[in-house]
Structure 1
Amino acid sequence: MTSGTRDGPGTGYVLGDTDPELARLDVLARLYGPATAAWLDSAGLAPGASVVDLGCGPGAAALAAAERVGPTGRVVGVDASDRHLAVARRRAAEAGHAHVEFVRADVTTWSPAGPVDAVLGRLVLLHLPDPVALVARSAALVRPGGVVAFQDVVLTSRAAHPPLPLLTAYDRWLRTALGRLGVPLDAGLRLTGVFRAAGLPDPVLTSAQPLERGGDAAGWAVVAGDVTSLLPAFERTGTATAAEIGPEDFERRLRAEAAAADAVLVNPMLVGAVARVP
């Protein structure tokens, strides 16, 4: 799920690969597990298939793909973060997936030894300056009739009902900082246009937007993890300071607000797109 380090507008992954970021990604994997399963099922991954997962992060989508292609298949996860790859390799070994390999490389330039049956990318396109180029390149890596599948988020769709002051502030910080860094907030809604521009047929779309209630919602940990991971970006872009945000107890305060209001958390929509290469 990482493609590099952001040094300017639209040049790479802005969330880092620290322990808090790994924890955030684990919560995301659990929260959106059913959505990822539906997306992969729509891709029709068959036993024995060869699959590449670009920007694999700690390996959630790659391992889910490995379950579908079975031991006669092969899955290669590609990521730029050694920390994420170490976690992915450990989890693959614990699951007994000898048919899964993880490679450290730039997802925009890496190529497999030959054509594969499917190329996946989960929460990676929003971090790239040219998502169309990656999707087009992915299509070139797939044999005719193979699958290109990407899944991305609509960050503007997160909400609480009733509204919570801390979440409202967080959304303002997120939109401002990512806007200044050139990261699209609606990447999931752009997928059809990206696939068309890459020369692919209109994709089959899946979507999910998990709802939770109260102070124990898992999604509050995602928000708090974002605050920790994005704090350098918030400060670098002049969006907010650590003193304004209070990251050390942000999650506790957010959960307390949610519990007091018995708030419903509408987690961001996750959109999957799948197309077959002509």
Structure 2
Amino acid sequence: MDDGAVPGSSGYVLGDADPELARLDALSEVYAPVTAVWLDSLQLAPGASVVDLGCGVGSVTQVLADRVGPAGRVTGVDAAARPLEVARRRAAAAGSVHVRFEQADVTTWEPEAPVDAVVGRLILVHLPDPVGLVRRAVELVRPGGVVAFQDVVLTTRAAQPALPLLTASNGWILTTFGVLGRPVDMGLRLGAVFSAAGLPDPVLTSGAPLERGPDALGWSIVGGDVTSLLPAFERTGVATAADVGPETFERRLREQAAAADAVLVNPLVVGAAARVG
């Protein structure tokens, strides 16, 4: 789940503590190729102005900055302060002077002027009104600009052969999202969301990265998901800390992967991009 935290209006159920930030870094690395294909579909020109909603630690923001070049302008927007601190430090270290970050509610933030593109990765899954945010994005871009979102299909995470801990964690996560009223298949809903927001049929891209063995980065993402969601597990009665064993969960999961020489299917992500008339 994403880069960004969008508390308040969003009901974001993952945290922004240090383990969560590490999870976001692992997620960005695993999904970098899939994200690149999605961003290719935007056909951004050098010098373009782009907004990254729910930017988190700024991984996508930096990729966008590299694509539009120093003549462009990229703004990352997120409600959580801690990820933004990381994002600002990394942008400064990269010399990305054409990037800025703002702490704000993504559902109400406004740019100074219409932009060429608005994007958001793994953010709609956390919003009670995803169509509303996409409509809002349409209002922020100039005529002919692009609106693009990428989101996850949580039901597709799996291992071959099956691992008991992954099966258990999938159950905890899917049940918790269900209790909280959050869709577990937002990636597959993007076409319908774009249509409801008044956009034409989007260009769709997708990918489910595969990794093998105990050193897969995806195990860190699973461990981070479980650790970050533990308060929600307990609040909803889905699982307790004793059930999860958060301190040793990732180590035990990697041990099971090693014993089985397991292949991890990271969750499918789907990207959508459409041009505003």
TM score, norm. by length of structure 1: 0.97
The residue that corresponds to 1:174 in the other structure is 173
Q: Deviating runs (4+, > 6 A) in structure 1?
A: none
For structure 1, which runs of at least 5 residues remain unmatched after alignment?
Answer: none
Contact kept? 1:212, 1:266, Cα under 8 Å: yes
Contact kept? 1:53, 1:76, Cα under 8 Å: yes
Count of matched residue positions in the alignment of Structure 1 and Structure 2: 274
The residue that corresponds to 1:20 in the other structure is 19
Which runs of structure 2 are paired with 1:4-153 in the superposition (5 Å)?
A: 4-5=7-8, 11-153=10-152
Whole-angstrom distance in 1 between the partners of 2:269 and 2:144? 25
1:233 matched to 2:232? yes
Which of 3, 6, 9 is matched with 2:6 structurally? 3
1:202 is displaced (CA, Å) by: 0.4
Contact kept? 1:158, 1:267, Cα under 8 Å: yes
Which runs of structure 2 are paired with 1:251-266 in the superposition (5 Å)?
A: 251-266=250-265
The residue type paired with residue 79 of structure 2 is: A
1:5 is displaced (CA, Å) by: 5.0
The residue type paired with residue 77 of structure 2 is: V
Whole-angstrom distance in 1 between the partners of 2:265 and 2:115? 37
The residue type paired with residue 7 of structure 2 is: G
* 3-state SS in 1 of match to 2:273: strand
Contact kept? 1:5, 1:16, Cα under 8 Å: no
Give CA-to-partner distance per residue, 1:132-153, whole Å, 9 cap, x none.
Answer: 0000110111111100000001
1:216 is displaced (CA, Å) by: 1.0
The residue type paired with residue 59 of structure 1 is: G
TM score, norm. by length of structure 2: 0.98
The residue that corresponds to 2:269 in the other structure is 270
Instruction: Determine what percentage of the aligned residue pairs are the same residue.
Output: 70
1:101 is displaced (CA, Å) by: 0.4
* 3-state SS in 2 of match to 1:43: coil
Whole-angstrom distance in 2 between the partners of 1:182 and 1:5? 15
Root mean square deviation, CA, Å: 0.8
* 3-state SS in 2 of match to 1:107: coil
Whole-angstrom distance in 2 between the partners of 1:44 and 1:14? 33
* 3-state SS in 1 of match to 2:248: helix
Whole-angstrom distance in 2 between the partners of 1:74 and 1:12? 29
For structure 2, which runs of at least 5 residues remain unmatched after alignment?
Answer: none
Give CA-to-partner distance per residue, 1:30-88, whole Å, 9 cap, x none.
Answer: 00011111111110111000000000000011110000100000000000011010000
1:114 is displaced (CA, Å) by: 1.1
Contact kept? 1:5, 1:14, Cα under 8 Å: no
